[in-house]
Amino acid sequence: MPNSFAPQTAASIAQARQHTLGDLLHRTAQRYPDKLAVVAGERRATYAEFDEAVNRCANSLAARGLEKGDRLALISHNSLEFAVLAFATARLGVVLVPVNFMLNAEETGFILGHSGAKGIVIEDALAPTAERAIAAAGLAGGVRGWIGLSGAAPTRDWEDVGSWIAEGDPAAPDVAVADDDPLRLMYTSGTESRPKGVMLSSKSLISQYVSCIVDGGMTPDDIEVHALPMYHCAQLDCFFSVDVYLGATSVIVPAADAGTILAAIEREKATKLFCPPTVWISLLRHPAFDTLDLSSLRKGYYGAAAMPVEVLRELRRRLPDLRLWNFYGQTEMSPVATILRPEEQLPLAGSAGRAALNVETRVVDEDDNPVPPGEVGEIVHRSPHAALGYYDDEEKTAAAFRNGWFHSGDLGVIGEDGYLTVVDRKKDMIKTGGENVASREVEEALYLLDGVAEVAVFGISHPHWIEAVTAVVVPKEGVELTREQIDAHAREKLAGFKRPKYVVLATSLPKNPSGKILKKDLRVQHAHLADSDRTGLAGDAR
């Protein structure tokens, strides 16, 4: 039916129907003005106060020349200012570009240049790297914001973000933002030489929030500790922004330090926590775990990797009232695609669950035909969660979204019951002696050995086997493991072609700030093991 309304009427209807990321906080503040919204160190803000801070910050950005569609890069650890900027930019229709603070100057400079950032906000401790990145990108002028987390005063050409929040106009900015206007540009780490900029809109994000709420058991009475980096969409958009949407309380801590997380749970009586398996393991191993009162914790979430079965059992034993969910997805899915619920954790251990509320998931072959249940193929999705595409990259966007499905790059199997098991990333599937070996299957087997704290399995180039299965094992504190013990255990649990050709004992595994194990670094670090084409076990890396 054609729309015959006058342009002014059509614009008024669009304004009345607007439901974007920038609107969520305001509506929550209308419902719960006096409820505690955010705790960040000694600072506490109600929803009314948080809403006003966002308006002031948004108007300060507008006064400095940022307009709808402009990009603002943000390089900072978790903070109240980060939280404010996430919603202030959305209210203006400005595209927020959260940047991984672990990147070097050249890598950061690429993102600044590729995104066309017209403004940059940095944390004081990260200023030297940011300054070099700005120079590398050849950027001059623009908005410059300074978050003084360590107390350093802004240097020349930088403004204190605190003054934007304190001094801006408290009225809500009047900007029309459409459902599919891009509001986030999230750069993926990926396996390629340069990251891709994933464009997310309000439609993508809010559809994903609804899936998280319904299938993730989230409610307004949650009190959640946010410890993983908010530059990553898992913490920012599966948890923090969802809490704001619902009216839950968010406790923001700067980093995923186990002692800090445990202390925050006890201090704030937190009920909810998201961590990847590596961080859950670090919590279990921390000496304060059994001395602090963690009884308030009722909901736990993990992602980025499957939770080892032995760790699931230990969590159930030591936190018997904790219910766990597994969230699986990608940045391009805003990011959740499938969810495994609490009652399914042990019966379906290792599964990624079923497609979330607003998602349709398939497993397909190389020609994008659905494969039968039980067969391995690439995992693809259809959903309003899906990104708008990759910024300024038609070729990669066309490849990822071919035939009307988003192609995840993950290999998986869907059973007759509809549950998805992620076999591996395509890049993590080890092809050895003509056979395919899933690194996660080997890792699960090695976790069954008493005394193993963490393990990473990957392939390295080998002159005979093409790739050799290699394991780096971190023993539990105070436990002495030998390579011979690990090899003997593997012989009991795994077929010969799946057993690690090389075993390395180490004190830790390299991880990014989100807690994901950096297997790419491990492959480089241990590439030399096959130089002499040994068939025995590797040396000790301690």
Q: Does residue 368 come out as left (phi exceeding 0), alpha (psi in the -120 to 50 range) or beta?
A: left
Answer whether residue 523 is part of any domain: yes
Residue that finishes a domain, picked among 203, 223, 254? 203
Q: DSSP string of 434-472?
A: TEEEEHHHHHHHHHTSTTEEEEEEEEEEETTTEEEEEEE
Domains of the chain: total: 2
- Residue 13's contacts (CB-CB under 8 Å, 6 or more residues apart) are 5
Residue 462: CATH number of its domain = 3.30.300.30
In 64-216, alpha helices (H): 80-92, 105-115, 127-137, 161-167, 202-215
Q: DSSP string of 406-428?
A: EEEEEEEEE-TTS-EEEEEEGGG
Between the alpha carbon of residue 436 and those of residues 280, 429, 433, 447, the distances in Å are: 30, 7, 8, 20
Helix axes 277-285, 309-318, angle to 10 degrees: 50
Query: From the CB of residue 317, how many other CB atoms can be counted at a distance below 10 Å?
Result: 8
Take residue 375 and report the two structure tokens written for it: 């067969």
Answer whether residue 284 is part of any domain: no
- CA geometry: angle at 530 spanning 525 and 531, to 5°? 95
Model pTM greater than 0.85?
A: no
The alpha carbon torsion through 248, 249, 251, 252 (nearest 10 deg) reads 60
Q: Are strands 143-147 and 119-123 parallel, antiparallel or unpaired?
A: parallel
Query: From the CB of residue 190, how many other CB atoms can be counted at a distance below 10 Å?
Result: 14
Residue range 394-449, pLDDT digits in tens: 999 999 999 999 999 888 999 999 999 988 666 677 878 667 787 888 898 899 99
Sequence length of the chain is: 542
Between the alpha carbon of residue 157 and those of residues 127, 144, 154, 407, 414, the distances in Å are: 12, 7, 8, 43, 55
For residues 300 and 323, what is the distance between their CA atoms, to the nearest angstrom?
A: 6
Domain that holds residue 72: 18-203
Residue 167: CATH number of its domain = 3.40.50.12780
Strand partners, 338: 328, 355
For residues 285 and 447, what is the distance between their CA atoms, to the nearest angstrom?
A: 15
Answer whether residue 498 is part of any domain: yes
Answer whether residue 69 is part of any domain: yes
Take residue 342 and report the two structure tokens written for it: 């609490």
Residue that finishes a domain, picked among 203, 225, 260? 203
Answer whether residue 181 is part of any domain: yes
Residue that finishes a domain, picked among 203, 224, 247? 203
Query: From the CB of residue 368, how many other CB atoms can be counted at a distance below 10 Å?
Result: 15
Do 149 and 77 meet the contact criterion of CB atoms below 8 Å apart? yes
Answer whether residue 394 is part of any domain: no
User: What pLDDT tens digit does each residue of the chain (542 aa) get?
Assistant: 667 899 999 889 989 999 999 999 999 999 999 999 999 999 999 999 999 999 999 999 999 999 999 999 999 999 999 999 999 999 999 999 999 898 888 889 999 999 999 999 999 999 999 999 999 999 888 999 999 999 999 988 899 999 999 999 999 999 999 999 999 999 986 434 478 999 999 999 999 999 999 999 999 999 999 999 999 999 999 999 999 999 999 999 999 999 999 999 999 999 999 998 889 989 999 999 999 999 999 999 999 777 888 899 999 999 999 999 999 999 999 999 999 999 999 999 989 999 999 999 999 999 999 999 999 999 999 999 999 999 999 999 999 999 999 999 888 999 999 999 988 666 677 878 667 787 888 898 899 999 999 999 999 988 777 789 999 999 999 999 999 999 999 998 887 888 999 999 999 999 877 677 888 889 999 999 988 664 444 444 44
Which position has the token pair 């669009």? 14
Longest dimension (CA), the chain: 79
Take residue 20 and report the two structure tokens written for it: 């974007």
Residue 380, SS3?
strand
Answer whether residue 218 is part of any domain: no
For residues 80 and 138, what is the distance between their CA atoms, to the nearest angstrom?
A: 30
Answer whether residue 440 is part of any domain: yes
Burial class (CB in 10 A: 0-12, 13-18, 19+), 487: middle
Strand partners, 431: 436
Positive or negative, the CA dihedral 121, 123, 126, 127 is positive
Taking the CA of residue 20 as centre, how many other CA atoms within 13 Å lie in the half-sphere pointing to its CB? Answer: 26
φ/ψ (deg, to 5) at 528: -75, -15
Residue 323, SS3?
strand
